[in-house]
Structure 1
């Protein structure tokens, strides 16, 4: 380390924190264009414009509602009305009044509403939790609604995990279990616990982490299997013909290991704050997941970046770097440094932000590139257009917060440091 960085980690330097704040505001300003006059939010193209004929997407609407709720908690102008805009769509346009639950997208779109997915409902719960903590009108009712749907339709108590998806009428359950939906459910459950004060959501978070982290990841060199049949048989060849699938790609996903890593530390903090025992394996596995992710994904085959996926034989499956993997890596490195004090994590924190600055930030058209190829050129192989706020905005906040179960909970307690 340089002499100054021996005295103070980068994340604690005043100038770095001012940079984080400015970058967060830049992302918030860019993303306001995704607000649809007809309700909800949509994705933006590479230039930051709404595509012609764009309709509301439930995941994007929930993520934007959540992100602007975080901004509103900081008193940033324009954020509160955008939270209300998102809540209106989640409570009306995107909710299935006939059968309950949430469509994947505007049911009036050309592709229809789609299936009822655990992944979608996790983000609705996350948005409703943040908006409830913020105190926006209708948010508590929305949160109660989505948590009821999760409890009665998706949560499988005997499995300690989430069912994956159903038809619109909640028939035709999919014979599949997925790590991705359960990971985001864990995140949403911790926010729900902060919003409601009900620690049952921490208990369920721990059940999810026990299965996926303490058992499955530990059994697989801390590379988390992503795909399972309904009886929890690992499907190692799942989507071998679709290696670049945006939600269910073949193989293992190093970026998800980074995400699980910091979620373990957040869960440890949430349990401790609630006066509940926090198993020692949470911190142990957080470190092991981080090590596994950089072992398998960072700077592979002489290239610079974090690969999207790795096959079960250890070879790179998709070499592109997705923006969200760096966002999760920044948070994981920051929290591990806070938790352990180890200088190596501070080095990774700087390394990841350096990569974001040099390869992912689009200074001409705004925001970050959603992904870049193996030579760090903008790509749309996996994802189209510019990303929504959710992944990129959070690492501008987490280095300025203590380790906490949820960002909205910490912001509501005034724990953000300038």
Structure 2
């Protein structure tokens, strides 16, 4: 009898299946639908960092192939993608070997996450990578005056863009919590004092979460994504480019789910807090309204500020984050209704998104469930899906790497 999607046996098998996807590809490169390196595409820092993170988790769980892949991806972050002249990381390296311009908080947050997981896995060069990425992040991106990050600079870190974004803030929170755990378990004084120590990293994450709690309350639990330099929301940003893959117009229900989960992760590092829990529940309840908003199964990608669908294509990561947050709320509250949604949404995702023929998951579907590639061509990484298979093992209180290290007894 085949295990039901979302159950421990099924998650274990799906984890193994996912980790084999693209295992022969070039670390950090864009993968096509079959997991082959797309030689026409650039090599991206965010992909190399996410894959370093994912395969470091595999290394912690004893996967030798995962360790080798994670080391290769980490080495690419330390060499090709690193800006030896100005510091930090290029967004990407083109096929001709030239670097794309700029420096983004999104990329640098994922480099910190990657370095944290890699160090927990004991990879060579991970401590140096974490030390440098944390230093660059605190110096160039983290704005202590507001408790949130700046979004982007030019390549030389000379001019900071006016734009501020909630997406980079969200992934910063994830990285900040991971760095805190890595710093806390470090056995060297230099690492344990990095950035002021573990609690300083957690406090940065909590400060950003407080902003989001207030932001959600002010906007009916629909989170604005785009802001100016003073953090005033621009609700019409990219209204002429509504399906931008990183900065779409309108509200993004998937980020509502993801923020709800991250609020619970941040809360779990301290004492239970009713205000944080209430905000997570409210964000979840609002985001789930995107299910079937256009009359078809699944979550629409974006809505306007009156909940009308804008981009109706289905993204795999939105379904994953809905599943993750249902699990997190069930663990936090014990309310069985969240467990029911977890089961329901896993059944949907397994049927709609898993590509049994070519591997991994379809990253984008049309409303009728047909695979598409308008916003996200190919299957560039495994970050969301692998974390979904591991969340019930890792739980809420620790970063994935630290939790798995404790679970595996290393």
1:244 & 1:51 partners in 2: Cα distance? 23
The reply to whether residue 390 of structure 1 matches residue 389 of structure 2 is no
**TM alignment of 1:366-385, pairs within 5 A:** 366-385=359-378
| 1:287 maps onto 2:287 in alignment | no
CA distance 1:109–1:234, change in 2 (3 Å): farther
Give the equivalent residue in structure 1 for 2:358.
365
2:240 aligned with 1:241, yes or no?
A: yes
Q: TM-score, normalised by structure 2?
A: 0.92
Equivalent residue number for residue 134 of structure 1: 121
* Cross-structure match for 1:28: 19
CA distance in 1, matches of 2:320, 2:35: 20
Structure 1 residue 292, shift from structure 2 partner: 0.8
**Partner Cα distance (2:335, 2:304) in 1:** 31
SS of the aligned residue for 2:257 comes to helix
Structure 1 CA distance for aligned equivalents of residues 217 and 296 of structure 2: 28
Structure-2 change in CA distance of 1:332 and 1:287 (3 Å) = same
- Deviations along 1:330-384, one digit per CA (max 9) or x if unpaired, are 1111111111111110111011111111110111111100010111110112111
Aligned to 2:99: 112
CA contact (8 A) 1:41 1:57 kept: yes
Tell me what 1:207 maps to.
207
Kept in 1: contact 2:81–2:92 (CA 8 A)? yes
| Residues 164, 176 of structure 1: 8 Å contact kept | yes
Q: Tell me, in whole angstroms, the C-alpha distance in 2 between the residues paired with 1:288 and 1:10.
A: 26
The TM-score with structure 1 as length reference comes to 0.91
Q: Structure 1: how far apart are the matches of 2:364 and 2:123? A: 34
Change (3 A) 1:111 1:308: farther
- Identify the residue that residue 193 of structure 2 maps to in structure 1: none
Bigger mean CA deviation after superposition, 76-85 or 139-148: 76-85
The equivalent of 2:151 in structure 1 is 164
Contact kept in structure 2, 1:401 and 1:415, CA below 8 Å:
no
C-alpha distance in 1, partners of 2:343/2:357? 23
Paired with 2:173 and 2:233, the residues of 1 have a C-alpha distance of: 20
Q: How does 1:64-143 map to 2 (within 5 A)?
A: 64-106=51-93, 109=96, 112-143=99-130
Q: Deviations over 1:87-133 (max 9, x none)?
A: 11111111111111000112664763221000000000000000111
1:372-412 Cα offsets, whole Å, 9 max, x none, are 01111101121111141101111101023332231111011
Q: 1:304 to 1:390 in 2, by over 3 A?
A: same
Counterpart check, 1:17 vs 2:4: no
Aligned to 2:224: 225
Tell me the CA shift for residue 172 of structure 1.
2.2
CA distance in 2, matches of 1:43, 1:107: 11
Match of 1:6 in 2: none
Alpha-carbon separation, structure 1, partners of 2:111 and 2:401: 15
Change (3 A) 1:375 1:221: same
Distance 2:306 2:300 in 1: 15
Using the alignment, how far apart are the partners of 1:155 and 1:402 within structure 2? Answer: 27
The answer for the alignment partner of 1:3 in structure 2 is none
Q: Find the counterpart in structure 2 of residue 57 from structure 1.
A: 44
- Which residue, out of 399, 404, 409, partners 2:392? 399
The whole-number CA distance in structure 2 between the counterparts of 1:19 and 1:410 is 20
| Native 8 Å contact 1:94 1:107 kept in 2 | no
Q: Is the 8 A contact 1:267 1:405 kept in 2?
A: no
1:83 to partner: Cα distance: 1.3
Partner Cα separation in structure 1 for residue 347 and residue 391 of structure 2: 17
Give me the whole-angstrom Cα distance separating, in 2, the residues matched to 1:321 and 1:150.
32
RMSD, matched Cα: 1.7
Q: What residue in structure 2 maps to residue 147 of structure 1?
A: 134
Residue 183 of structure 1: aligned partner: 170
Question: Cα–Cα, structure 1 residues 190 and 89, in superposed 2: closer, same or farther, change >3 Å?
Answer: same
Q: Distance in 2 between matches of 1:412 and 1:315?
A: 43
After superposition, the C-alpha distances for 1:263-307 in whole angstroms (9 at most, x for unaligned) are 11111112x2xxxx4543221111111111002x11112111001
Indicate if the aligned counterparts of 1:369 and 1:387 stay in contact, CA closer than 8 A.
no
Write the distance in 2 (CA, Å) between the matches of 1:288 and 1:85: 41
Q: After superposition, give the CA deviation of every residue in 1:307-331 in whole Å (9 maximum; x if it has no partner).
A: 1000123210000110001111111
Hey, what's the Cα distance between the residues in 1 that align with 2:380 and 2:367? 19
